[in-house]
């Protein structure tokens, strides 16, 4: 099948959305599909206001239309609500081509945090963007239910996976962390206000706090918390080695739709500490034993007091975490993605699977 994937989130951005999309594209191509990616690195861009790491394509409408026409896709998936996403949506709508979208990021919540305006003001934009899609891909049943309540009932489950060959127990710890005071408490992700990292950095558990990632809040947090180790963005084997060095993985976000880094931590044998909110609840579960059917014993702790969650998670068995993390393979996730696509065959709408 010829699949067009349009995304405003792409390398060199470092986040779970980009890892999910690039891995999915690689898996689909490995299965013999022809995948055309339309991404910001192919256009002139400007930095996103207040978030310069994100690049926004300029004047991309005609170029997106030309790329779509030349590629002649059987199925079109629009991953993000940025300039490229809107341009691809317009092309599909003008030609009455079915398309699918995915809800990766709590766009209304993030804009609300930066603008200090109510998140509900921005949901009409989200409904307008995703409303015409044949299906809206969502990572969890909880998110699907929320989208339905918000007026987007046409959801399709698209879970997330982890590279089990890379994130695995028993690796050599990252040298920069090997001799630091323990326990090592690790957080991985964008260093931005919506990730609530400050809640982690304020916790009083002894040991060493380590932040892997970059973003607009990093300079401010480095200045305010000089005892915290900020490593910047890590990739591949070095990222896996950072997980290997950790005694607990701390996920302080209150707004994530999933939290890919949590399953990377579990697969590496690192228990998770987080707040009891969507994302952690969908991976760790309220009782802490996980939602994927691993060992059936606790792999994390969710608590309104993050410090309590960290202290209790440090007591958990790493092998139980591995058993849970290994339930998240990319083969199943890619099959879910493919099954949700919509294509045109001889003028009739059919499911791509």
Per the domain annotation, does 79 fall within a domain? yes
Per the domain annotation, does 6 fall within a domain? yes
Q: What is the pLDDT of residue 344?
A: 57
Shared domain for 342 and 295, answered yes or no, is: no
Which among 231, 245, 234 has a CA at the least distance from the CA of 171? 245
Extract the residue ranges of the chain whose pLDDT is less than 50: 346-353
Per the domain annotation, does 65 fall within a domain? yes
Shared domain for 186 and 285, answered yes or no, is: yes
Shared domain for 259 and 229, answered yes or no, is: yes
Per the domain annotation, does 10 fall within a domain? yes
Q: What is the pLDDT of residue 353?
A: 40
Shared domain for 217 and 125, answered yes or no, is: no
pLDDT tens by residue, 143-191? 999 999 999 999 999 999 999 999 999 999 999 999 999 999 999 999 9
d(CA 65, CA 76): 13
Structural domain boundaries enclosing 142:
2-161+331-351
Shared domain for 152 and 188, answered yes or no, is: no
Shared domain for 145 and 217, answered yes or no, is: no
Count of structural domains, the chain:
2
Contact 110, 126 (CB under 8 A): no
Shared domain for 148 and 249, answered yes or no, is: no
Per the domain annotation, does 166 fall within a domain? no
- pTM across the whole model: 0.84
Shared domain for 307 and 191, answered yes or no, is: yes
d(CA 127, CA 76): 19
pLDDT tens by residue, 237-278? 999 999 999 999 999 999 898 999 999 999 999 999 999 999
Shared domain for 25 and 148, answered yes or no, is: yes
Shared domain for 93 and 78, answered yes or no, is: yes
User: DSSP states of 208-221 as a string?
Assistant: EEEEE---TTHHHH
Per the domain annotation, does 167 fall within a domain? no
Shared domain for 124 and 94, answered yes or no, is: yes
Q: Please list the alpha-helical segments (H only) found in 48-138.
A: 61-71, 83-94, 107-115, 123-130
Per the domain annotation, does 67 fall within a domain? yes
Shared domain for 22 and 153, answered yes or no, is: yes
CATH number at residue 126: 3.40.50.2000
């Amino acid at each position: 099948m010829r699949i067009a994937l349009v995304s405003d989130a792409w390398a060199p951005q470092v986040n779970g959305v980009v890892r999910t999309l690039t891995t999915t594209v690689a898996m689909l191509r490995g299965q013999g599909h022809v995948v055309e990616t339309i991404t910001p690195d192919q256009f002139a861009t400007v930095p996103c206001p207040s978030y310069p790491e994100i690049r926004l394509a300029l004047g991309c409408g005609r170029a997106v239309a030309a790329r779509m026409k030349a590629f002649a896709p059987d199925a079109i998936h629009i991953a993000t609500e940025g300039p490229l996403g809107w341009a691809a949506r317009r092309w599909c709508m003008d030609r009455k081509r079915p398309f699918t979208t995915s809800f990766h990021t709590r766009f209304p919540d993030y804009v609300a945090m930066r603008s200090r305006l109510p998140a509900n003001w921005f949901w009409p934009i989200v409904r307008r963007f995703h409303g015409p899609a044949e299906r809206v891909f969502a990572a969890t049943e909880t998110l699907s239910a929320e989208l339905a309540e918000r007026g987007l009932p046409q959801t399709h489950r698209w879970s997330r996976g982890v590279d089990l060959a890379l994130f695995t127990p028993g690796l050599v710890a990252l040298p920069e962390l090997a001799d630091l005071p323990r326990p090592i408490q690790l957080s991985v992700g964008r260093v931005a206000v919506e990730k609530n990292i400050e809640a982690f950095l304020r916790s009083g558990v002894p040991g060493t706090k380590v932040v892997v990632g970059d973003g607009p809040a990093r300079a401010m947090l480095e200045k305010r918390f000089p005892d915290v180790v900020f490593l910047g963005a890590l990739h591949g084997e070095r990222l896996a080695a950072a997980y290997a060095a950790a005694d607990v993985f701390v996920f302080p976000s209150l707004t994530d739709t999933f939290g890919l880094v949590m399953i990377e931590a579990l697969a590496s044998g690192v228990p998770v500490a987080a707040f009891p909110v969507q994302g952690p609840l969908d991976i760790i579960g309220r009782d802490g034993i996980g939602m994927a059917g691993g060992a059936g014993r606790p792999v994390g702790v969710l608590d309104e007091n993050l410090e309590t969650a960290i202290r209790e998670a440090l007591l958990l068995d790493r092998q139980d975490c591995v058993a849970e993390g290994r339930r998240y393979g990319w083969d199943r996730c890619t099959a879910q993605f493919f099954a949700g696509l919509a294509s045109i065959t001889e003028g009739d709408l059919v499911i791509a699977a």
